[in-house]
Amino acid sequence: MLLSPAYVQVFGARGGSVRPWRMFHKRGVGICSAVYYDRGRRIDRYALFATTRASAPDDFRRIGDEVEARAMGVRICERLGPGADVRVELRCGVKAGMRTVLEPEDNLCGS
């Protein structure tokens, strides 16, 4: 039992009782990780908006797609003010693991 995922990965065997390993099955699919940067420095959006994970509203805590990630980026830009250079790296869970949706290439503040 302990070696069954390794057995499948190493030997490529498939059987009824030994299944191949995969990163996510159902729970992790669609969950995203958004990391924001201002001029290369990571932004703690909770500290920026003076809130905590526990007290933040759901739409603040859960960023589920590119549209929501960009919208949060605009909010961060507004909070930081003129001259901000906010970028986001967005990765979302798929069955094979984490897929990069957005690279931190575009300045979300429009400058």
Residue 76 CB partners (closer than 8 Å, separation 6+): 36, 38, 43, 45, 48, 84, 86, 108
Tens of pLDDT, residues 31-72: 889 999 999 999 999 999 999 999 999 989 989 899 999 999
For residue 71, being part of any structural domain is answered with yes
Domain count, the chain: 1
For residue 8, being part of any structural domain is answered with no
For residue 39, being part of any structural domain is answered with yes
Residue 101 DSSP code: E
For residue 109, being part of any structural domain is answered with no
Domain carrying residue 32: 24-102
Give the global pTM.
Answer: 0.72
Helices (H), ranges, the chain = 4-11, 45-48, 58-61, 66-80
Tens of pLDDT, residues 8-25: 556 655 555 655 555 555
For residue 55, being part of any structural domain is answered with yes
